[in-house]
A = this chain, B = another copy of it.
Amino acid sequence: MDDRIHEHADVLVDWSARIESGDDVVVSVSEGAHDLAVAVAEKIGDRGANLVTTYGSSEMNRAYLNAHDGEFDDDPGHELALFENADVVLSLGGGRNTAAQTDVSGEVRGAYSKAHEQTREAYMDTDWVSTVHPTRSLAQQAGMSYEAYQEFVYDAVLRDWESLATEMSEMKDILDAGSEVRIRSEDTDLTMSIEGRTAVNSTASVADDSHNLPSGEVFTAPHATAGEVRFDVPMTIRGTRVEDVWLEFDDGAVIDYDAARNPEVIGELLDTDEGARRLGELGIGMNRGIDRPTDNILFDEKMAETVHLALGRAYDACLPDDETGNDSAIHTDLITDVSDDSSLAIDGEIVQRDGHFRWEDGFER
């Protein structure tokens, strides 16, 4: 087995999930993630933790959902009991076809999701971590060869996480102390308030309440957004490719929008509910192992020299106890490249210019 698979398992079990002897662990294995699952099982055995393995098959899900009449039982007892009694859930993504469930109706998916609310809460109450094993299907989605995609994934995952966590905590301190953020780039001049909000240092470790591997972003919940922004990193939203999305904000809400490709997807998104027109997240990508978009939000939003904004729901962790923040059924990230002719300023002071943070070599004052 490729050494990098064992190293990935090491990071996942020790740095991310902090698995200890006696922990009751669920490992969810996608159709293409077998090799990583074997390496993870070895680590879990070595740590003296207890293992139940579930199979996360898109093709089984599709077959089940399409055959069902859509009236799902609420939170089936065996599934709920499994997650209520688990300490850790490791979700090993990596399928064989990213389009495997495209012919399941949104209505059925929604009904299934709604019927499993308690189960999802039980899952979220564990020390869960999501990661992906590089598969040919994900390489294809990224438009890359399999070999090159493997290198890409391991560059993103096998970081010096302690050192990156320290660097990101500096960014968090700046955001926590700040009141106003201004982002400038081509077709972009946006201001937003972060007054009273708390940034999350997303270190890919449950110790920091960070549940994705890779991670490498610092994010907070902005409000009172004003100005315009162009998202020049292309992405797939609800199965449709969108490019060069442009939004104009006033008093915290989107007042105009456009896109070079499939603008109607953005229109539908904005019409979801009241909160869909407001921002739930400002995130700053800081993982220098991620050097290009691969049409996979797990990676794209952490890409170094990018900033992302999410329409919709805000994370509780960013909000004061007495505030609910922006509420919405959606949370859709949109990403903009800030590597060139760009700046990120907090309270008038430039923190990042042309992709370089002020504590990095190459930063020009």
- The interface of chain A, by Cβ under 8 A from chain B, is 22, 24, 26, 29, 31, 34, 37-39, 41-46, 48, 50-57, 59-61, 63-69, 71-73, 76-87
Which B residues touch A60, using CB under 8 A?
A: 29, 37-38, 41, 51, 53
Nearest CB in chain B to that of A96: its residue? B34
A259 CA to B68 CA, complexed, in Å: 54
Interface CB pairs A-B, < 8 A, 5: A24-B79, A38-B59, A39-B63, A45-B63, A45-B67
- Among candidates B37, B84, B85, residue contacting A55 with C-beta atoms closer than 8 Å: B37
A71 CA to B85 CA, complexed, in Å: 21
Interchain nearest-CB distance for A348 vs B (Å): 52
B67 touches A43 (CB 8 A): yes
Which B residues touch A42, using CB under 8 A?
A: 63-64, 66-67
Beyond the given pairs A29-B60, A48-B68, 18 more chain A to chain B contacts, judged by CB atoms under 8 angstroms and listed by A's residue number, are A24-B78, A37-B55, A41-B60, A41-B63, A44-B64, A45-B63, A50-B73, A50-B78, A50-B79, A52-B79, A52-B82, A53-B57, A77-B85, A78-B83, A78-B85, A78-B86, A79-B82, A81-B82
Which B residues touch A46, using CB under 8 A?
A: 67-68
B78 touches A82 (CB 8 A): yes
A76 and B24 in contact, given A51-B64, A63-B42 (Cβ under 8 angstroms): yes
* 4 interchain residue pairs of minimum CB distance: A45-B67, A50-B76, A81-B81, A45-B64
Which B residues touch A37, using CB under 8 A?
A: 55, 57, 60
- Among candidates B48, B68, B71, residue contacting A71 with C-beta atoms closer than 8 Å: B48
Per assembly, the copies of the chain total 2
A82 CA to B26 CA, complexed, in Å: 11
Which B residues touch A43, using CB under 8 A?
A: 67
Which B residues touch A84, using CB under 8 A?
A: 81
Which B residues touch A29, using CB under 8 A?
A: 55, 57, 60
Which B residues touch A78, using CB under 8 A?
A: 24, 26, 50, 52, 81-83, 85-87
A81 CA to B85 CA, complexed, in Å: 7
Which B residues touch A34, using CB under 8 A?
A: 31, 57, 59
- Among candidates B56, B57, B68, residue contacting A45 with C-beta atoms closer than 8 Å: B68
Interchain nearest-CB distance for A66 vs B (Å): 7
Nearest CB in chain B to that of A77: its residue? B85
Which B residues touch A81, using CB under 8 A?
A: 78, 81-82, 84-85
Looking at A34, A55, A69, the one whose CB has the most chain B CB atoms below 10 A away is A55
A45 CA to B62 CA, complexed, in Å: 10
Nearest CB in chain B to that of A76: its residue? B50
Which B residues touch A51, using CB under 8 A?
A: 60, 64
A27 CA to B26 CA, complexed, in Å: 16
A60 CA to B40 CA, complexed, in Å: 8
A71 CA to B53 CA, complexed, in Å: 20
Looking at A31, A34, A42, the one whose CB has the most chain B CB atoms below 10 A away is A42
Which B residues touch A79, using CB under 8 A?
A: 24, 50, 52, 82
Which B residues touch A66, using CB under 8 A?
A: 42, 45
Which B residues touch A77, using CB under 8 A?
A: 24, 85
Which B residues touch A56, using CB under 8 A?
A: 53
Interchain nearest-CB distance for A126 vs B (Å): 10
Which B residues touch A69, using CB under 8 A?
A: 48
